[in-house]
Amino acid sequence: MFQHVILTRFSCAFRHRTPQGGWEIRPPDQEWIAQRLDLFERYCLRSIERQTCKAFIWVLLCHPTTPTDVLTRLTALVAGLNGVVLLFDGLPLGSGLARTLDEQLSLGSQPTITTRLDSDDALAPGFVETVQAIACATREHPILISCPYGILWDDASRRAYWAFGLGNPFLSLVTPSRAFDTVLAEASRKIKYRFPIAIGPRRSMFVQVVHGRNVLNRVHRLRYPMSARQVRTCFPFLPFREARSSLLGTAAGRSLFYMRVFVRRFIRHVDIPLLEHYSLVRRCKPGQILDLSGLRSGMNEGSTGRA
C-alpha cells in the first residue's frame, strides 16, 4: 500500500527577477493571495471534494506571512474534508520540502505518492483513484505518473480547450520507503527527464486555469475548443460556455497543432520536444512506461512552471 499526498502551494514564496538581472525570493502580495483564494474555492477545492477515492492527505503549503483573515477563510473552506494539513513554510519550490514533510507527517516509513496540484487548477473526479491504480500496478520505483490529457480553461471567457503535456503541473511521483522525495523537488518541465514515466489514460484528467495572473502563461499546446459534452462529462462544476468555433473538429485541430509546432521549431528555431512527446504518448497504452532521459529538454512544455 502507498501513502498518497497531494501538495498544493497556496501562498508560497516565489522567485522574482530583479532589475539587476538576478533573482530574489519574495512572498506573494495580498492582492495575489485574495485572487488565489477565489480561484481555489471555485476550482481546486471543488475538484478535491469530488474525488472518487478519499484515501489521501492534502497538504496546503502557506507562507508564514499569509494574512490571518485569509487563513481563517481557508480553514473554513476545508473544514468538511478529512486529511487536510496546513503547512507553513517560507521556502520556495523544492527546498527541503521532503525533509519537512517527513518530520511533520512521517512519510518516509513506507512507499509514498506525491501529486502536484496548483491552487488555481483542478483534477478530474477519478484522478486520485487512477494514479493509485497505476502505482499499484507498477513495480518500478521511483517513477513518475503522468496523465497527459486535460483541459485548458479560460476563466474570463468560460471556454475550454484541449490540452496536452507529458510534463504537466499534475505529475505524481512514486518513491519507495527510505528514499522519500516529492514531486515538487524539481520543476515539472525538468523532472520528467529524471525518472521513468508511467502514462495515464487517454481522457481529460486535469483542468489548467488561465486567469491573467499566472506565474508563467506561455503555453505550447493544441488549441481546439471542446464541446459541452466533453467538458461536463469530466468536470461538471465548470461554468462552461460553448465556444463559437466549436465546430472545429479533432482532425483540423490536430493539424493546427502540428503547424504551430513546425513554425516555432523550424522558423523561430525554438527547441520544443512537445511534438516528439505527443507522438510517443499516442503509441503508448495506459500504464506503459516511457524513459525520456535520453531526450533533450525543451524550453517550456505546456505551462509546467505556471502556478
Confidence of residue 288 (pLDDT cuts 50, 70, 90): confident
The predicted model scores a pTM of 0.82
The residue-averaged pLDDT of 279-295 equals: 79
Could you tell me which residue, 102 or 260, shows the higher pLDDT? 102
The residue-averaged pLDDT of 17-24 equals: 73
- Cα(239)–Cα(195) distance, integer angstroms: 36
87 forms beta bridges with: 61
Of 134-148, 173-187, 220-234, 281-295, the one with minimum mean pLDDT is: 220-234
* pLDDT tens figures, 261-276: 555 555 444 445 666 6
Task: Kindly state the percentage of the chain with pLDDT values over 90.
Answer: 33
Hey, CA dihedral for 155, 161, 167, 172, is it positive or negative?
positive
* pLDDT tens figures, 189-240: 788 888 999 999 999 999 999 886 655 544 444 456 777 787 888 888 888 7
The residue-averaged pLDDT of 49-71 equals: 92
Cell numbers describing residue 77 = 473552506
The CA-based angle 208-211-216, given to 5 degrees, is 70
Closest CA to 114 of 3, 217, 238: 3
Could you tell me which residue, 231 or 47, shows the higher pLDDT? 47
The CA-based angle 131-167-281, given to 5 degrees, is 75
Domain at 3-290: CATH code: 3.90.550
What pLDDT sits at residue 260? 61
Average pLDDT taken over every residue of the chain: 79
Confidence of residue 148 (pLDDT cuts 50, 70, 90): very high
132-156 core/surface letters (b: 16 or more CB in 10 A; e: else)? bbbbeeeeebbbbbbbbbbbbbbbe
Confidence of residue 298 (pLDDT cuts 50, 70, 90): very low
What pLDDT sits at residue 125? 94
